[in-house]
Copies of this chain bind each other. A is one copy, B any other.
Amino acid sequence: MSLPFFYTPTITAGSKELVLHEDTSRHIVQVLRMQNEEQLQLTDGLGNLFTAKITDNNKKACSVNILTVQQLPLLQQSVTIAISLVKNNSRFEWFLEKATEIGVAEIVPLICSRTEKQHFKYERMNNILISAMLQSQQARLPVLHEPVKFADYLIRSSAVQSENKFIAHCEDESNKVSLPVNRTHTASTILIGSEGDFTKDEIALALKHNYIPVSLGETRLRTETAGIVSAVLLVSAKSNN
């Protein structure tokens, strides 16, 4: 995959020819100075990888013909990280980039009792995911959700039965297990708290919703680091299925 690679959400598996978005066209024609007949790759972010040939290198509306389409296999593990927003935006953005590189499937920004920051620029955040997907040569864009209140997310997620559910917290508790654990599903969700951890009430509520308390190791991690550590441990884990 060493051809130039672009995200084109409007492309469909049956597409034969396509006029690319203005920004993409400008990049291809003005920055990369690509010519007619040159090849590039496109993805819909849904797992499809298209190889295409430029037919009209118009700098505002570059046309391409689709030559081949290939569906990339799903990662073995489907991992959702539900994580508190943090005060420092660049730390959250760093988390988004790394989680995408590692191959997380879904990201749910949480608003917890101790979450200080609540505003969230969806488009900017999603663009970070797109860049990281292209950079790491993947064809699946993680699903980025709008921020949701912790209790609302527990209710929403309680309908999903076919996944392992974890909560990472720092309270001493004898029943905590260490990741990676044996798991019965290939899908899993983990809750990561804000600076200052989840409150005792939040932990109790999560346990009531069948979340399993886990430890992420022997050191105390920042929120965004805990998000990445759990992404690595869950994506790389072998399931028992």
Contacts and interface: CB of A to CB of B under 8 A. Distances in A.
A136 to B, nearest CB: 5
Contacts of A76: 218
A174 interface: no
A41 to B, nearest CB: 14
Q: How large is the interface on A (under 10, 10 to 19, 20 to 34, 35 or more residues)?
A: 20 to 34
Q: How many copies does the complex hold?
A: 2
A7 to B, nearest CB: 16
A148 interface: no
Interface string A222-241: 10010011001101100000
Contacts of A217: 102-103, 235-236
Contact of A101 (B102, B136, B221, B235): B221
Interface of A: 75-76, 94, 98, 101-103, 135-138, 178-180, 217-222, 225, 228-229, 232-233, 235-236
